Amino acid sequence: MTQRLHLVFGGELVDPTKNVFREVDKLHIVGMFPDYASAYQAWKAEAQRTVDNAHMRYYIAHIHRLRDEEAAASATEELGS
């Protein structure tokens, strides 16, 4: 079975119309989840918890999309060999 990891994170934005965090070093890392459904539940809980702050945003990052096991290794990966 293929594992599809998802990262849920969020923080305060400089401007609610942009995706620029005010302080990257203060991002709230909610956690890593094995599937979209559990990541969505975590995202939803954090988004609802911070609904009164228009500058707070939470996101789901599809970590499994960052690496395609079928594709050839990148030049950076080759440096480690």
Blockwise average pLDDT, block size 10, the chain, 81 residues: 88 94 96 95 97 95 78 54 46
| Model pLDDT, residue 37 | 94
Q: What CATH number is attached to the domain comprising 48?
A: 3.30.70.2400
Containing structural domain, residue 48: 6-79
Q: Mapped to the 3 state alphabet, what secondary structure does the chain carry?
A: CCCCCEEEEEEEECCCCCCCECCHHHCEEEEEECCHHHHHHHHHHHHHHCCCCCCEEEEEEEHHHHCCCCCCCCHHHHHCC
Q: Write down the pLDDT at residue 70.
A: 65
pTM of the full predicted structure? 0.78
- Residue 1, domain member (yes or no): no
